[in-house]
Amino acid sequence: MERLYASWRHAYVTRTGQAADCVFCEAQRSPDARPLVVHDGATAYIILNLFPYNSGHLLVVPRRHVALLAELTHDEVVEMAELAQAAERALTEVYGPQGINVGMNLGRPAGAGVADHLHTHLVPRWTGDTNFMTVVGEVRVLSEEVAQSAERLRPVFARLLARG
């Protein structure tokens, strides 16, 4: 197996899991993360995944640090659903995917990479997007950089979610 060293990820994989170290809580405060945020809502926001499965991989995240759906308020549930709906529309308009995976992984055994802060994934998909590079080479090939995805998606979200 080929190894790709990414020493800058050490801080991410060794975090304690407390709210102060949460990547999603930090993304709301950090100027470094702001370029990844494509929409700010009242109780939730939409951010591009820094380590996407495909170009345009979005995350809908509640502002509050909660781990479970049962911990969300009614307003948070409604806004997260509305933002996921807008994300589907934006991804369809910008990328024209043939499908979109939408889901949550609650708890580490269920596959949650950030188990202590709930989030919804929206991953645009195309027939054949998992090709030999992923299967044989264990490498993902992305068609654009995350910053380009943000530039393309941000104006679409501004139009779709214009308050007024």
Q: Does the pTM exceed 0.75?
A: yes
Residue among 39, 57, 117, 119 flagged as catalytic = 119
Q: How many alpha carbons lie under 13 Å from residue 22 in its C-beta half-sphere?
A: 20
If one counts the domains in the chain, the total is 1
Which CATH number fits the domain that encloses residue 17?
3.30.428.10
Q: Alpha-carbon distance 29 to 48, whole Å?
A: 16
Report yes or no on 116 lying in a domain: yes
Report yes or no on 146 lying in a domain: yes
| Tokens, residue 121 | 């994934």
Rounded to 10°, the helix 74-95/146-160 angle is 120
Annotation marks residue 119 as catalytic? yes
Report yes or no on 1 lying in a domain: no
Task: List strands edge to edge, sheet with 37-40.
Answer: 37-40, 44-48, 58-62, 120-125, 99-103
pLDDT tens digits, residue range 74-106?
999 999 999 999 999 999 999 999 999 999 999
pLDDT-derived band at 137, boundaries 50, 70, 90? very low
pLDDT-derived band at 133, boundaries 50, 70, 90? very low
Domain span at residue 50 reads: 7-160
pLDDT tens digits, residue range 27-75?
999 898 889 999 999 999 999 998 888 889 999 999 999 999 999 999 9
Report yes or no on 91 lying in a domain: yes
